[in-house]
Amino acid sequence: MKEEIDVLEQTVASDYKYGFVTDIDTDVVPKGLSAEVIRIISTKKNEPEWMLNWRLKAYHHWLTMEEPEWANVHYPPINFQDIIYYAAPKKKNKLNNLDEVDPELLKTFDKLGISLNEQKRLTGVAVDVVMDSVSVATSFKKQLSEIGVIFCSMSEAIQDHPDLVKKYLGSVVPMTDNYFAALNAAVFTDGSFCFIPKGVRCPMELSTYFRINTEGAGQFERTLIVAEDEAYVSYLEGCTAPMRDENQLHAAVVELVAHTKSEIKYSTVQNWYPGDENGKGGVYNFVTKRGICQGDHSKISWTQVETGSAITWKYPSVILKGDNSIGEFYSVALTNNKQQADTGTKMLHIGKNTRSRIVSKGISAGRSQNSYRGLVRAGKNALNARNYSQCDSLLLGDKCGAHTFPYIESKNKTAVIEHEATTSKIGEDQLFYCRQRGIDAETAVALIVTGFAKEVMNQLPMEFAVEAQKLLAISLEGSVG
């Protein structure tokens, strides 16, 4: 038994593979937050007056708010004056195509396995790349625009599609929603914007890759995806950061709007730097993600594989407003060393015959703490609302923790809400069974964990599933041996 635990501990001690820093000329606004800093950011981005006013309003509201403390995570107070709110790789002029991207940047993303060269890319994925505060490149833009799909950085959207941005920005996550959402609204610097017009099935996966590079910089991106009637889009998000001793703040907002009979599938593979094995450094990932099924028969599906960040605080949610709409949440959250994750979802049933499904798989190793927190609410008009939730936790070793906090509120008698939860340990018996067949403990743990997470992994688009599976194995590397 003792040896088995040692074996698990060794597997858990792995190296973060994306911890390098790119040496590139960066345009930085000095540390600290004030109305002045927000004005500078807005000016740098050449924003219209309405955008600046929106930011300032959010900022003033944020000043009145208190940092939330209800999550099952612990960290020293954040000094918001000690964060850089704007850092952008310097560029000479506006890019016309990808060939003009700084080679140093291209190298960075090649190293991360993200080729920006369209010819080299796997077909069927368009990428927007965000480094620190700005989007540096978006691929396949032209091909997409031919069928009416808008896929660009948020900064460009504000310039080129102000009406759409004005209409939808903050419509799902209001600037006053919560502490970090308000902060984001005040200082967000970039992100992706996707608009799928009526009746269009987006022919390729849209993808954004987020990278924090500059020391002391926070990343505050904002993503907005709108699917008009009968439109379909599958969107992927990936993220990494260099290894640093101090904690970096990532406070993003994602808003999804699904109109009648449309479908948005949003997948995340989150691999921010988790800190070292003693819990030093790492990204604080405080994110608000929410989608609204605005129209009847619309569908929003969140899939997330969370392996990174020192602290994760995130609850991708769906507001099921349209009748017969569907919300889904599939999550694998793996915590190791001293990582803390408090993650889950909210399914808010408002329309009739709305359905939601929650599948959460938490894997805890090392000395980490992994919590599922989920709210299912059926409103008084949500006749025949149905929810099924399944929360499984897998423990590796005896120093980690798994917690489940389900909240269920039903205001009508026709709603049916089911919740199932299990907690299991990778058993000595399972390991021995594998080893007797010639599978060493480390491979066995990866096999068992992959099996445990399979139901969620199956939801990921193909290209991502392979990457995510590797990520799970890497994140556990050294915990057995």
Identity of the residue, 419 or 435, whose beta carbon is nearer to other proteins in the bound complex: 435
Pairing between β-strand 125-131 and β-strand 205-211 as defined by DSSP bridges: parallel
**Which of residues 62, 193, 272, 452 is near other proteins by CB under 8 A?**
452
Identity of the residue, 283 or 476, whose beta carbon is nearer to other proteins in the bound complex: 476
**Tokens linked to 201:** 């099935």
Minimum CB–partner distance for residue 471 and other proteins (Å): 17
How far from 267 is each of 8, 34, 345, 464, CA to CA, in Å? 29, 34, 14, 9
Identity of the residue, 3 or 66, whose beta carbon is nearer to other proteins in the bound complex: 3
Minimum CB–partner distance for residue 405 and other proteins (Å): 24
Judged by CB under 8 A, which stretch of 248-256, 263-271, 377-385, 431-439 contacts other proteins? 431-439
**Tokens linked to 60:** 């003033």
Q: Is 407 in the site for other proteins (CB under 8 A)?
A: no
Q: Is 435 in the site for other proteins (CB under 8 A)?
A: yes
Q: Is 330 in the site for other proteins (CB under 8 A)?
A: no
Minimum CB–partner distance for residue 461 and other proteins (Å): 20
- Of 466, 407, 464, 10, the C-alpha closest to 238 is 464
DSSP 414-467: T-EEEEEEEEEE--HHHHHHHHHTT--HHHHHHHHHHHHHHHHHTTS-HHHHHH
**Which of residues 277, 434, 463, 467 is near other proteins by CB under 8 A?**
434
Minimum CB–partner distance for residue 444 and other proteins (Å): 9
Q: Is 432 in the site for other proteins (CB under 8 A)?
A: yes
Q: Is 164 in the site for other proteins (CB under 8 A)?
A: no
Report the distance separating Cα 307 and Cα 472, nearest Å: 7
Please compute, for residue 75, the number of CA atoms within 13 A of its CA located in the half-sphere on the CB side: 34
DSSP 57-87: HHHHHHHT------SS---PPP-GGGSB-EE
**Which of residues 164, 383, 439, 474 is near other proteins by CB under 8 A?**
439
Q: Is 409 in the site for other proteins (CB under 8 A)?
A: no
H or E, element range at 29: strand 26-29
Report DSSP state, residue 239: E
Judged by CB under 8 A, which stretch of 14-22, 108-116, 178-186, 438-446 contacts other proteins? 438-446
Report the distance separating Cα 307 and Cα 301, nearest Å: 20
**Which of residues 104, 454, 462, 470 is near other proteins by CB under 8 A?**
454
- Of 92, 90, 207, 64, the C-alpha closest to 139 is 207
Q: Is 440 in the site for other proteins (CB under 8 A)?
A: yes
Whether residue 154 contacts residue 221, with contact meaning beta carbons closer than 8 Å, is answered with yes
Residue 92 CB contacts under 8 Å (≥ 6 apart), including other chains: none
Identity of the residue, 206 or 480, whose beta carbon is nearer to other proteins in the bound complex: 480
Q: Is 448 in the site for other proteins (CB under 8 A)?
A: yes
Q: Is 199 in the site for other proteins (CB under 8 A)?
A: no
Q: Is 455 in the site for other proteins (CB under 8 A)?
A: yes
Applying CB under 8 A, the residues found at the interface with other proteins are 1, 3-4, 427-430, 432-441, 443, 447-448, 450-455
